[in-house]
Structure formats: structure tokens, C-alpha cells
Amino acid sequence: MPTPRPNTPTIRKTVTTLADGRELIYYDDEATAVSTDYRAATDTRALPPAVSDSQLRYDVLTGEWIAVAAERMDRTFLPPPEASPLAPSRAGTAPTEIPAADYDVVVFENRFPALSPRAAAQRLAPFVDSEPLWPLRAGAGRCEVVCFTSDPTARFATLGHRRARMVIDVWADRTADLSAMPGVEQVFCFENRGREIGVTLTHPHGQIFAYPYLPPRTEALLRQARAHRASTGGHLLADVLAAEQHSGRRVVYRGEHWSAFVPAAARWPLEVHLVPHRDVPDFTAVSEGEKDELATVYLDLLARVDRFFEGVHETPYIAAWHQAPVGDDRELGRLHLQLFSVMRSPGRLKYLAGSESGMGAWINDTTPERIADRMREIA
């Protein structure tokens, strides 16, 4: 594992809007920033004002909120590289979601959001079909796209330490802003990579969801953490880290501030968790030293994931950054990465069939110990 090095970018933030009123934010590293007047780079597309009909419908059988966003049916699907909506708008090309001719990191409101503050403008009845069994809410919240670089051929693993460190700062800034929005209960930063995952835009990018409710995984984690505290007095996520470190069998990295391990009950054929040693609720609380080490170890883990399967150069993965909820039970949550792949061997995917999809009863096709052995072997 390479040694972390101080390489902290100074970031310039420019906030503007797109033709339909959606917010667009440029983040530039002042040491390497392109000389662009972003406010002069206007969106020339003839777009109607952004609206959202997103709804949240309550599933009384499971206690879960389901987002219903029918406008997402028309979202962009696998455009050719020259028509990528995430590329800069350069001379001789059609205008894109990013009006500037170049950029470092860009964040903008998703054009086809599952959740949007504009959904609150709807006049909705409190129940579907006036039936109290089916509560109905506006699909408020926010969905953002994060473009890590203007280079369409890059991967997060190839960004380099300074750019990765910058993206971490952007995650922290967006987490702070979105957490302050009325009604937001949790902020979730993630990256989907690979067609096998369902990615429809190949440009290197991630997303951020600001949920107006707690998603099922968070609800389950908080339920377990609450019970653990009641029975032991401890913090569940801290105690899991301590147990994995004590065992050492599945630990693949242990640094000054962060440890990475394959969880004892890993459900995916490739799964690694990366957690801070300190009790950190979200990216806003991560220190400068912790960010520097995180950039190093995260790049290393992503590179290992791409080497995990023989003959596969870009392993499909989901990088899910779980953060503590904004309000109640915040002290029970803790920032951690769940990095996993749906690939179980070269050319073969882990399909979520009857047991997983129908019953939520997981079956892993390998052992966590074998995953950890492989992750150490390719370090």
C-alpha cells in the first residue's frame, strides 16, 4: 500500500444554472484550473423549465417508501461517446449538460431525478385512491450527478491522488449543503461503474441522493445498532471494526486512519468495506489527514477491484458511501464504504433471482475469506 502524501487542492466553487433552471456547480483546483469564466459559459439549449412529478408511495407490506418517477423512462440511454451529455460543450459539438469547454469536477441536478425539490409543487392527496393503507407523499429531496473529470476515457482508479482528494472534498461540500435542505434525512454518495450494473452513461461520474426518508438498509442498520447499544452499551459499527481488526483474517488494509476488510457475512462475490478508525458520522467531519489517507487507500482498492478477476480490466462495481442520518439516531450511524461487484467470475454475473429478489434471503457464491485472500494477493 503506498504511503499517503499531503496533496491538498485549494478549491474554487462557482454556482450557476442550466437553461431549465437546474443548479450547476463547478469545482476547480486553483493550482491547475483552466482559465474559464464559467458564468459566461451559458447553456444555449432550448429546454422547458425543470419540473418533477415524482411521488413516494408507502408499501404497507414492508414498511418501505417506493419512489415513483415515471419521467425517468425517457432518460438518456447509452449514447455514443461523441454525444455524451456529461462531456464539456466544445466548439463543433452539440451543447451538453455542462456549458463550459472544460472543467475539473462538476455537480449538477439530475435532469431525470427520482427525487426533486420541484416535486413538492404537486398537489397530492394524502393517500392513493383515498385508501389509508397507501400513504402518498411528494418525491421531494434531490438527485445530483458528479462528474469526476472531463476526460471520458478516465476511471476513478486512474484519477490520481490530487483529483481523488478533490472529489472527497466535493462529497463533503455537497453533504453539508444537502443535509441543510428542509426534509432531507440522509445523504448518499455513490458510483455505479459498468454496463453490468446498469450504467447508461460511460463518462466517469457518480451520483448523490438526498433522501426525504431513511432507506431500508439504513433503517435496518439503525435497528441493529440500537439493539446492540441496549445489550452491550457499545457502538455497533465501531465494534464490528474492532472485531475485524482483532481477527485480522479478512483485513486487506490497515492504516493510520482507515481500515478495509471483507465483512464476515459478505453477500456479494466481491465485497470490501472501508471504514474510519474514528467515530465519523459523514464526510463533513473527516479531517484533512483522514482525507489524504482516504484518497490513497480508495484509489488502491479500486485498482485491486479491477485486477480481481483474471482477464477482466474494468470490473463492474458499486461504491456506496453510507453516512449517518441527518436527524434522529445520527449518533448510531457512521461513515463507511461498501464496495462490491455483481460479477462472480469472468463473464458471469451474480443474478438476484428467486431467493434474493423474492425473499431478500441472500446466498453468496464464495466465502468472505477467499475474497480477502484474493484482495491481498493482488495488492
Known catalytic residues? Answer: 205
| pLDDT bucket at 93, cuts 50 / 70 / 90 | confident
Q: Are residues 208 and 269 in the same domain?
A: no
Q: Are residues 235 and 206 in the same domain?
A: no
Compute CA distances 376 → 28, 250, 302, whole Å. Answer: 35, 9, 13
Domain stop point among 163, 184, 216: 216
106 DSSP β-pair partners: 26, 147
Q: What local confidence, expressed as pLDDT, does residue 209 receive?
A: 98
Q: Is residue 299 one of the residues assigned to a domain?
A: yes
Q: What local confidence, expressed as pLDDT, does residue 114 receive?
A: 96
Q: Are residues 23 and 126 in the same domain?
A: yes
Taking 90 as the threshold, does the pLDDT of residue 294 lie above it? Answer: yes
Put residue 137 in one of left, alpha, beta given phi > 0 → left and psi -120 to 50 → alpha.
beta
Mean pLDDT to the nearest integer, 68-90:
84
Q: Are residues 154 and 30 in the same domain?
A: yes
Cβ(363)–Cβ(356) below 8 Å: yes
Put residue 160 in one of left, alpha, beta given phi > 0 → left and psi -120 to 50 → alpha.
left
Domain stop point among 168, 184, 216: 216
Q: What is the pLDDT of residues 46-62, one digit of tens each?
A: 999 999 999 999 999 99
- Give 237-286 as a DSSP string: HHHHHHHHHHH-TTEEEE-SSEEEE--TT--SSEEEEEEESS---SGGG-
| pLDDT bucket at 211, cuts 50 / 70 / 90 | very high
Q: Is residue 295 one of the residues assigned to a domain?
A: yes
What's the whole-number average pLDDT of the chain? 94
Taking 80 as the threshold, does the pLDDT of residue 182 lie above it? Answer: yes
Q: Are residues 286 and 194 in the same domain?
A: no
What distance in Å separates the CA atoms of residue 297 and residue 27, rounded to the nearest whole number?
23
Q: Are residues 41 and 183 in the same domain?
A: yes
What distance in Å separates the CA atoms of residue 149 and residue 358, rounded to the nearest whole number?
39
- Give 161-177 as a DSSP string: HHHHHHHHHHHHHHHHH
Q: Are residues 71 and 170 in the same domain?
A: yes
Mean pLDDT to the nearest integer, 281-304:
98
Put residue 311 in one of left, alpha, beta given phi > 0 → left and psi -120 to 50 → alpha.
left
Compute CA distances 320 → 97, 242, 340, whole Å. Answer: 24, 21, 8
For residue 65, which of 218, 273, 187 has the smallest C-alpha distance?
218
Q: Is residue 276 one of the residues assigned to a domain?
A: yes
Q: What local confidence, expressed as pLDDT, does residue 270 receive?
A: 98
Q: Which amino acid is at 294?
A: L
Query: Domains in the chain: how many in total?
Result: 2
Q: Which amino acid is at 9?
A: P
Q: Is residue 1 one of the residues assigned to a domain?
A: no
Q: Are residues 92 and 186 in the same domain?
A: yes
Mean pLDDT to the nearest integer, 124-129:
97
Lowest mean pLDDT across 80-94, 140-154, 160-174: 80-94
Taking 80 as the threshold, does the pLDDT of residue 34 lie above it? Answer: no
Domain stop point among 173, 199, 216: 216
Q: What local confidence, expressed as pLDDT, does residue 259 receive?
A: 98
Q: Is residue 6 one of the residues assigned to a domain?
A: no
Q: Are residues 340 and 230 in the same domain?
A: yes
Cell of 130: 383515498
Compute CA distances 326 → 114, 116, 208, 292, 359, whole Å. Answer: 20, 18, 15, 25, 30
Domain of 180 in residue numbering reads as 11-216
Mean pLDDT to the nearest integer, 104-122:
96
Mean pLDDT to the nearest integer, 130-148:
98
Q: What's the CATH number where 240 sits?
A: 3.30.428.10
Q: What local confidence, expressed as pLDDT, does residue 372 receive?
A: 98
Q: Are residues 252 and 365 in the same domain?
A: yes
Alpha carbons within 13 A on the beta-carbon side of 335: 25
For residue 326, which of 284, 279, 278 has the smallest C-alpha distance?
284
Specify the 3-state DSSP secondary structure of 217.
Answer: helix
Q: Are residues 263 and 206 in the same domain?
A: no
Taking 60 as the threshold, does the pLDDT of residue 326 lie above it? Answer: yes
Q: Is residue 60 one of the residues assigned to a domain?
A: yes
Compute CA distances 301 → 152, 251, 264, 271, whole Å. Answer: 21, 12, 18, 11
Q: Are residues 32 and 154 in the same domain?
A: yes
Q: What local confidence, expressed as pLDDT, does residue 41 receive?
A: 87
Taking 80 as the threshold, does the pLDDT of residue 7 lie above it? Answer: no
Q: Is residue 2 one of the residues assigned to a domain?
A: no
Q: Is residue 3 one of the residues assigned to a domain?
A: no
Q: What percent of the chain has pLDDT over 70?
A: 97
Q: Which amino acid is at 119?
A: A
